[in-house]
Structure 1
Amino acid sequence: MTTTSSGGEPAPAIADREIVISRVIGAPRELVFEAFTRVRHLSRWWGPEGFTTSTRSFEFRVGGEWDFVMHGPDGTDYQEWITWREIVPPERIELLHGESHDDPNAFESVLTFESAGEQTRIVMHTLFPTRELRDEAVTKYHAIEGGEQTLRNLAAYVAELTRNEPTPNEPTQDEITRNGAES
C-alpha cells in the first residue's frame, strides 16, 4: 500500500506501523471526553485489565504532560509519559506517548470521539516510528488486547458514572446531607 503526498511523489506506507482500535460507548461524547481528560477519572480506568495507575503530574493542555506509572498485575512498574499535542473538545486528542519526554521510541496517537446520539464511538489510531516497534508492542506488550481492554475499562467506568448520576428531580447527596442537617 502506498499513499501519495501533496507533492505527487509516493509517501511511505504507514499501515505496517499502526494500530487502530475502536469501541462504541453507551454515554454522551462530552462525558466520554471528560473521562479521558481529567486525572480524577483516568486513575480509575486507565490501562489494561489488572493494571493500576499512579499519576506523578498531570496538565491537560496543548504542550502539557501526564507523567505516570502503570502498575502491572505481576508487580512490574511501567514508567509512562504523555504530552498533549492537539486538543479539540470534545472531538479529538492528539498525543505523543513514551517512557519519558526524550524517548526516541515514543509513538503518536490520535483519539477521535464521534457522537452517535447518546452513544460515543471512540477511535484510537496509534502510529509507531517503525514497523519493528509496532510489532514489539503487539507481541511483547500485547498492545491490541491491552488497548481493547483499556477501552472496555473506560466503557465500564463511564457506565458507572451514568448510573450514579441523579435524575433531574432526584436530589444530590450534598442536597440530602444539607437538607438533613437543616431539619
Structure 2
Amino acid sequence: MSNQTMVKVEGNELILERVFQAPRELVFKMFSEAEHLKHWWGPRGWELTKCDVDFRPGGVWHYCMKCMDPNQGDFYGFESWGKGVYQEIHEPQEFVYIDYFSDAQGNESKEMPATLCTMTFIEEDGATRLINRSKYDEPEQLQKLLEMGMEQGTRETWDRLDEYLQTQV
C-alpha cells in the first residue's frame, strides 16, 4: 500500500488516520451510501451480505459482515452484525455516529461496548486525510476490542477502501 494507516491509543480513545488519493467529497460518499459500502467494508475475506443505510441524523446503518474465506478457519461462514446510529452529519467534513454490535434484528449487544465514532475528512491538495476517533466509556473496553483484532480489521478495511476508491476516481 502506498499510504499506511496510522494508529494511536490515548486512554479510552483509538485514533486512526490515513490519506486517500481521492477528493474529499468522494471519500465521504463511500461512507454514506450502501452501494459503495458493499464493495469495501470489512476485513479481507469478509463481505457485507446486508447493508441498509439511512444517512441522516437519527438514521441507522444496519449491516452484516460474513466471512467468505475458507482459509480463515473457524471464522469461515461466521456472521458479525453491526449497527450505527448517526448523531451529526456535516457533509463533506465530518459525521458522528454510535457504533454497536447487534443482532440480525438490530438489537444492540449488552455484552460488547458501544463506540462513539467521529469521522473527519480533511481536503489536502486533491487528496483526503481521514481521521477516525473512536471513544469508549473505559480504556478496558477499547483494550478488549484491540485484543479481538480490531486494529488489523480496520487496516484491512481501509486498504480495501483505498483499492475501491481507485476504481471510482
Report the TM-score, using the length of structure 1 for normalisation: 0.76
Match of 1:127 among 135, 144, 154: 135
Aligned CA-pair RMSD: 1.5
Give me the identity figure in percent: 26
Aligned to 2:90: 88
Cα distance per residue 1:111-158 (max 9 Å; x no partner): 100000110010111112222211111012x11121121111111111
Match of 1:49 among 21, 34, 44: 44
Unaligned segments of structure 1, at least 5 residues? 1-13, 163-183
Amino acid at match of 2:117: S
Are positions 1:161 and 2:168 aligned together? Answer: yes
For residues 96-175 of structure 1, the aligned pairs below 5 Å read 96-100=98-102, 102-104=108-110, 105-140=113-148, 142-162=149-169
CA contact (8 A) 1:55 1:66 kept: no
What is the number of equivalent residue pairs in this alignment? 148
Report the TM-score, using the length of structure 2 for normalisation: 0.82
SS of equivalent to 2:82: strand
- Of Structure 1 and Structure 2, which has the larger fraction of its residues in strand? 2
Counterpart CA distance in 2 for 1:38 and 1:56 is: 9
Amino acid at match of 1:68: Y
SS of equivalent to 2:22: coil
Q: Which moved more, 1:89-98 or 1:104-113?
A: 104-113
Give how far 1:55 is off: 2.4
Cα distance per residue 1:79-116 (max 9 Å; x no partner): 11111111100000101011235445211110100000
Structure whose CA Rg is larger? 1
Counterpart CA distance in 2 for 1:21 and 1:69 is: 23
Counterpart CA distance in 1 for 2:84 and 2:77 is: 22
Counterpart CA distance in 1 for 2:41 and 2:127 is: 20
